[in-house]
Each structure stands twice: as structure tokens, then as C-alpha cells.
Amino acid sequence: MAGVSSTMLQKLKGFLVGRKSGEISATEAEKIQKASYALMHAEVKKQFSPAYLSILPELDNPEKQVFEAAVYYLTKIASQKTKYQQDILEIMAKKASDHKLNPEFREHLKTQMQNILQKNNR
């Protein structure tokens, strides 16, 4: 097709298909409406959970390495994020007061709590 421009082809295509450029079909419009409706009524996650909450179950793990890793990360978060510090210290104190806890684990918790408090006082 020599001598036919791309805009001429678009107009010809639109004429043959029955649509003008820029228009959408009824099916496409319905899909857009359904998607828009679903987005408007989708539940927005408004509740934020701090990262340290996912670590807490590891404090109940009987393996020393897992327990110490959990305490390490809790200590690190408490030292760097002051807004979580008090909550983490309370959780650690509650766990340290548990008499069923391995005495070695209890001492480790107490030591790390002291480390957090010392870093806070600097």
C-alpha cells in the first residue's frame, strides 16, 4: 500500500471496525468499571505490625542458636528504634521472669536487656 500514511490506516481501521480512535468498546468499559469498583471496595491494610513481632515466637524455641538469634535481633531493633524499645524490654523481662526458661537463656536475656539500657543512657 504505497502512499498510505499510518494515520490514514488508523482512520480506515476505525471506520471498518466501527470505532473512532480513542473510543472503547462496551466490553472494555465494563471491565474497567468492574476493576474500578473492586479497587474502591478492596480492604485496605491499615494495621501495621512492627517487624519484631514476627521474631517473638522464636523466644520459645528450645534450641540455643535460634533463641540467641531472636534475642540478638530484638536487641538490635530495640537499640536502633527507640519507639519499640520499651515494648521489647517488657517482652524480654516477662520472658526472663519465666521460671520454666532455661537458666542460661534467662541470663542471656538479662545481659542483653542491660546492654539495651546502657546504650540508651549514653
Is 105 in contact with 60 (CB distance < 8 Å)? no
> Quick one: pLDDT at residue 24?
75
Question: CB neighbours (10 Å) of residue 23?
Answer: 10
Whether the predicted model's global pTM rises above the 0.85 cut:
no
CA distance 98 to 103: 10
pLDDT at 75 over 90: yes
Handedness of CA 50, 55, 59, 64 (dihedral sign): negative
- Locate the domains of the chain by residue range: 6-41, 51-121
CA distance 107 to 63: 15
pLDDT at 1 over 50: no
Who wins on pLDDT, 41 or 1?
A: 41
